[in-house]
Amino acid sequence: MSADLRVNGERLWQTLRTFATFGATPAGGVTRLALSAEDRQGRDTLCHWATEAGFHCEIDEIGNQFIRRPGRNPQLAAVMTGSHGDSQPLGGNYDGIYGVLAGLEVLRTLNERGIETERDLLLVNWTNEEGARFAPAMLASGVWTGVFSREYALARRDGDGISVDEALRAIGYRGTAAARAIPLHACFELHIEQGPILEETGIDVGIVRAAMGQRWFEITLTGFAAHAGTTPMDLRQDALCGFAEVALAVERIGRQFADDGRATVGMAQLTPNSRNVVPGRVFFTVEFRHPDANALDRMEAALHAALATLGERRLTVSAGKIFDYAPIAFDPGCVAHIEHAAGALGLTQRSMVSGAGHDACYLNRVAPTAMIFIPCEKGISHNEAENILPAWSTNGADLLLHTLLAAANEPG
């Protein structure tokens, strides 16, 4: 296929701007939580645009939207692309939805050029990728790929006690199609980087070869709450001071594995949380990320070593691992398709590891999968200030177009 074949970048940009009105915030971002009224606006519009372009939009029982462009040989496994339309509270305009709308633009472009593919192309908008309203994240792609059961997902509840099942019915997106994987030849997810590397290095696109594994821990340190004015320093069992030691140890662990690793204390709760009481209890979370499972083992061991020193402070430690998400290695063949297409288009490229979780990470369990990143300004994401440039948007969609064509025209 000629490298001169390109998407309509201006049209793609306008669809992104239109979508940004669904849940728009005064500061220029969006709050479009999964299965909210704002999410329904987006879903309805995506269905309308798909139907207008001549495609059928199918909804499965967990609310995933599938838009199919038939190929010449329906017996061959399809090629999938897509991402998600839900956002974080006070989130950005491009996280997730860029990959969905760029996929739609690819399908529109192929129709307008009269280009046929051997295999079907399947565009998907996954439900509740963010996990901001219903935990856990990547819920519906998890159901589709067999990570979670349908019953588990439908029973998840938000902070107001509303279940996924109830929310799906309320917005009219409790579909009838089975939420389970079908045979796929390849999957490609296009996404903003959500980090600063591509912009800082002036590289056009990132080709994602792997995704970091994640381990989450919940830890409680228990000492003894005591009067701040009458309890001598050497008699205190101060849980907060123990927490401070562990937090700094987590930072040291992260720096030790700084090339590819991440270590974060993201949440802490003090009890009784009073200004004149020595803290008797601290609950907090620790999160490690790394693309190598052995490195994650060493990070976890270092955490337990730091916790073991707290006996000197006469603190009781309770620690549990609540989430263990293995590192992902994406399919070399899919990565090669992206690399070849980027070279043909004259785009500068960089091999990357994703530090964030994506629906593609679950898809990789059932089909050959890889991801494409485009830059985002200052690496800002999950924030109303999240931004990309129209040229970046077009580059990513052009690369997706040529990647999908190559995969969709491979023989059986």
Whether the bond between 291 and the residue before it is cis, its omega within 30 degrees of 0, is no
Q: Is 191 annotated as a binding residue?
A: yes
Q: Which residues contact 141 (CB under 8 A, 6 or more apart)?
A: 64, 126, 129, 359, 362, 363
Q: What is the largest CA-CA distance in the chain?
A: 82
CA distance 97 to 347: 22
> Kind and range of the H or E element at 209?
strand 205-211
Q: What is the DSSP string of 215-281?
A: EEEEEEEE-B-EETTTS-GGG-B-HHHHHHHHHHHHHHHHHHTTTT-EEE---EEEES--TTEE--E
CA distance 246 to 320: 15
Q: Is 84 annotated as a binding residue?
A: yes
Identify the residue whose tokens are 């494409």.
372
Q: Is 130 annotated as a binding residue?
A: yes
Q: Is 185 annotated as a binding residue?
A: no
CA distance 244 to 282: 10
DSSP 177: B
CA distance 191 to 99: 5
Q: Do the beta carbons of residue 188 and residue 81 sit within 8 Å? A: yes
φ and ψ at 299, to 5 degrees? -65, -45
113 CB neighbour count, 10 Å cutoff: 9
CA distance 168 to 105: 27
CA dihedral 290, 294, 299, 305 (to 10 degrees): 170
Categorise residue 197: left if φ over 0, alpha if ψ from -120 to 50, beta otherwise: alpha
Tokens of 274: 């009073």
CA distances from 386 to 219, 267, 296 (A): 32, 23, 30
CA distances from 266 to 128, 262, 271 (A): 22, 12, 17
Annotated binding-site positions? 84, 95, 130, 191, 382
Annotated binding site for Zn(2+): 84, 95, 130, 191, 382
